[in-house]
Amino acid sequence: MTKTELLELIRNGESSGVEFKRDTIETRALAKELVAFANLEGGQVLLGVEDDGTLLGLTRAKLEEWVMTACRDKIRPEVIPYFEVVRDVESGRDVAVVRVGRGWGVHHVWHDNHRTYYIRVGTVSREASAEELERLFQQRGAFRLELRPVSGTTMLDLDRRRLRDYFSRVRGQETPADNDGVGWRTILINTELLAEESPVPPATVAGLLLFGTNPKRYLPQAGVDAAAFAGLEKEYAARERISLRGPLVPLFGSSGLVENGLVEQAVELVRRHTGVTATLEGGARREERWEYPDEAIREAIVNALVHRDYLLSATDVELTVFADRVEIVSPGRLPNGITPARMRTGCRAARNQLLKDVMRDYGYLEHMGMGVPRKIIKSMLEHNGTQPDLIEEGERFLVRLWKKVPGERTE
């Protein structure tokens, strides 16, 4: 880092990625700041700078050795920081830069045989709450909420009809008789739709979301908040407002579809509020063309339901139909370092692997993980020449599909 770059950094003040400290702080205090940065997106501690940006300079002997010892002895898992000293930032005053990147795991400070997890919130490093810590472990792939047992549930809270259809028709395997409770319990525990607990195994989060008779009863976030508006913005008078409920997967019988799952309910709502045009192909064959390709709508809805953060229990997936666009909002940040740019190229990462696997069994997801570039982006470009918007905004991820209208926005 050059002297000019460092001075600019100091002028901008402390932030989510920058902390000022004297080099006389305790070892644990330095470890706390570095842990908080590693548990966010990385950051740097400037040693020799007061909180208000005043340059104090360095005073500690063997400073680099002290920093490395703190990272080795006080931080678990250990981190190896980038370390450099910028000389004569002001006459005779040096500043040390200690930088860490985003950790692959969840880091904590180890002190007096006690572990403390810290996170960075704005310009403050503070201890993580239980809920924040759960989400942090989930983001790092060390914790799978979908396998958590749901208190108060039993095997009876799963739709046996859908389960039989899944195992026999979709997976092509033998299923127990309806009165064989032990057989059903065994197959559901082995597929992680029930948790392995005694004496009565409860359903897992994934089990309820996929096959629950009433998922919303135990998981208030297990639905789609849908609305359709005649104009370009949300209004008090909606064409339709509805809370879509039910398991993710459909039910098929001997004569075909018996009952829609949550995905198809959402697709049908979009169809109810979007138009279709008919043309004659070759002068004889009638060809219907919807305003949005089904595969793009379905893929966006499936992704929102499968990859959302179910730790955010106060909000559903949002589906909104406007006159010029369809918006699907999935609660939570993108998992495991995924960005919108990486999604466009087919980069894959699953927050809820079991949900993903089962929905892929039903044909909702591709084995190659190329649903976004192939089914959303490519199909929209071929359908009407528009480029979908993929936007991460804080704790939500938005997919916006545009309708090509003369004189309106197209890309």
- Structural domain containing residue 177: 146-215
Number of domains composing the chain: 3
C-beta of residue 35 within 8 angstroms of C-beta of residue 45 = no
Alpha helices by DSSP H, 42-200: 63-73, 130-139, 160-164, 181-190
Three-state DSSP state, 352: coil
Burial of 174 (0-12, 13-18, 19+ CB in 10 A): exposed
Please report whether residue 241 resides in a domain: yes
Same domain, 376 and 245: yes
Query: Cis omega (within 30 of 0) on the bond before 176?
Result: no
Same domain, 198 and 242: no
Query: Final residue of a domain: which of 142, 170, 190?
Result: 142
**Residue 276 pLDDT:** 80
**Residue 131 pLDDT:** 82
Please report whether residue 187 resides in a domain: yes
Same domain, 8 and 100: yes
Please report whether residue 409 resides in a domain: no
How far is Cα 261 from Cα 269, in angstroms, rounded to an integer? 13
Radius of gyration of the chain (CA): 26
**Residue 399 pLDDT:** 95
pLDDT in tens, 134-180: 878 877 765 678 888 998 899 999 999 999 999 999 999 999 998 99
Same domain, 398 and 268: yes
Query: Final residue of a domain: which of 192, 215, 238?
Result: 215
Please report whether residue 337 resides in a domain: yes
100 DSSP 8-state letter: E
DSSP sequence for 193-249? SB---SSSPPBBHHHHHHHBSSHHHH-TTSSEEEEE-SSSS--SS-SEEEEE-S-SS
Please report whether residue 408 resides in a domain: no
Same domain, 119 and 171: no
Q: What residue type is 211 in one-letter code? A: F
C-beta of residue 29 within 8 angstroms of C-beta of residue 47 = no
Please report whether residue 230 resides in a domain: yes
Please report whether residue 179 resides in a domain: yes
**Residue 161 pLDDT:** 95
Length of the chain: 411
Same domain, 304 and 359: yes
C-beta of residue 387 within 8 angstroms of C-beta of residue 377 = yes
C-beta of residue 287 within 8 angstroms of C-beta of residue 193 = no
Same domain, 181 and 229: no
Query: Final residue of a domain: which of 142, 167, 194?
Result: 142
Distance of CA 62 to the CA centre of its chain: 43
Same domain, 318 and 185: no
C-beta of residue 56 within 8 angstroms of C-beta of residue 49 = yes
Same domain, 156 and 78: no
Could you read off the pLDDT tens digit of each residue along the chain, which spans 411 residues?
A: 899 999 999 999 999 999 999 999 999 999 999 999 999 989 999 999 999 999 999 999 999 999 999 999 999 998 999 999 999 999 889 999 999 998 878 999 999 889 999 999 999 999 999 888 887 887 776 567 888 899 889 999 999 999 999 999 999 999 999 899 999 999 999 999 999 887 889 999 999 999 999 999 999 999 999 999 999 999 988 999 999 999 999 999 888 889 999 999 999 999 999 988 766 666 566 677 889 999 999 999 999 999 888 888 778 999 999 999 999 999 988 876 678 888 888 776 678 889 999 999 999 987 666 788 889 999 999 999 999 999 998 889 999 999 974 455 444
Same domain, 202 and 234: no
Q: Angle, nearest 10°, between helix axes 294-307 and 353-361?
A: 150
